[in-house]
Amino acid sequence: MKFVVRLFPEVMVKSKSVRQRFTRLLETNVRNVLKRVDEQVKVRNLWDRLEVSAPGNGLAKRAALIDALSHIPGIANFSPCDDLPWQSLDEIATQVAAYWAPRIGNRSFCVRVRRMQQCTTSSLDIERYVGGRLNELCPEARVQLKQPELTVRLDVDKEKFALLHEQYPGLGGFPLASQEDVMVLLSGGYDSAVAAWQLIKRGSRVHYCFFNIGGPDHQSGVQRIACHLWQKYGSSHRVKFVAVPFEPVVNAIVEQVDPGQMGVVFKRLMMKVAGRMADRQKIDALVTGEAVGQVASQTLTNLRIIDAATDHIILRPLIAADKQEIIDLGKRIGTASMSESLPEYCSVISRSPTVRAVRSRIEAEEAKIDPALLDAAVRNAMTMDLRDLAAAEQGPRAEPEIVASLPPDAVVVDIRSPEEQEAQPLVLAVAVESIPFFQLERRFPTLAADRNYYLYCDRGVMSRLHALLLTERGFANVKVYRP
């Protein structure tokens, strides 16, 4: 089987040297990805297009190749094709009609020909001849040159021509690694995953930095998102996943920083640590999923103060996007369903947040945080190859027990943020203990060991993750309360 692959238009208009570099990169990327489908795949670089060929005609292999090609950055579109010989226009028309006449039916169509350099017959003559033959054989159809329902495409050379079948859309953008590497701050929410995809599509090799304040199950969920993005859109290159233990820093922020300033201070400290992690990979740019005005820390005033925390350029590809647009794009690229099951911890570390922070006050609040905490976070960060994460076999994990009713001696632990607890106090007929999620791992061991504890949060997601964390720490007296 064979495919003709068209380059993204922005690649085609580059200067000769840049275009050569981009097409060579795309050729290599396509080969690296498709060899996972079939080791015998061959890729030819023909300057204005690529030709991909693989032995056999199995439907399963064809579907796998189509799926892989549709997710490789730098491809405008591609078509399966047949290479056929010709010596006369009648021979071309006869072979084209054998394939297309049964498929046209009563629909509108046109014929488009790309003539190779060695072909002396004009494209217009071939189009007219083939179109006339199809018009004779399909009396209910009609020729329509603008916006036809079907387009019959041919690539004609001197002694053979490629009869292109249906056309599939490519991902577009630039070939991977045609732009510099970036590091995405991946939280597990809709926004950062979509932002990562935007940079992959634009040709950057994307590495991931995850700030863990939710335990191993939260990290596992975020790793799944990173693995999906890499396997689907960027598997032609090696990328890193960095996990930074950030819970001690969050505890210090909550205990020492003025509540209204916490959100901005938290983001600045993340940028400082992310910048140090990026330096290890020799990366100049950080990427976030922030959109202007979406939350309090994302006003222009606050973003400017956050930017000042690092010398690295901070890219925000979603800066003007609406939330629903981001969610819709997350569904399209396959990350939304995973993001739905994970809480965005970053969004809950604030109480009555300021929307117009003052830099001097933010820096004064930030100075309360011991720099040794940031040094420890950097020192204890784990850097992993996404290939290893994707290949690792993860066995089933025991799910915590979830209950809707409580025994009289139950103790419910409200793990919501202080702001949420103040806004909607939890009033029950049993004992209620207030321990925000970012203090839970530290404070839970101090609770009486002979009682059963039922973790509570609004959606039941965060309580489940932390119940798993405590169970893995050896506590058997933890359940989830989900009324």
Give the amino acid at 445: P
Give the amino acid at 102: P
Kindly provide the b/e burial profile for residues 251-288, where b requires at least 16 CB atoms within 10 angstroms of the residue's own CB: bbbbeebebbbbbbbbbbbbbbbbbbbbeebebebbbb
Q: Single out the catalytic residue among 119, 138, 227, 457.
A: 457
Report the distance separating Cα 34 and Cα 435, nearest Å. 50
Terminal Cα distance for the chain, rounded: 56
- Residue 149: CB atoms within 10 A of its CB come to 14
Give the amino acid at 260: G
Report the distance separating Cα 66 and Cα 51, nearest Å. 13
How many residues does the structure list for the chain?
483
Report the distance separating Cα 413 and Cα 405, nearest Å. 14
The separation between CA 390 and the C-alpha centre of its own chain, rounded to angstroms, equals: 15
110 given a catalytic annotation = no
CB 399 within 8 A of CB 240: no
Give Cβ neighbours of residue 338 (< 8 Å, ≥ 6 apart): 188, 193, 221, 224, 225, 228
Phi, psi of 142 (to 5 degrees): -145, 145
The separation between CA 436 and the C-alpha centre of its own chain, rounded to angstroms, equals: 30
Q: Which residues are catalytic?
A: 457
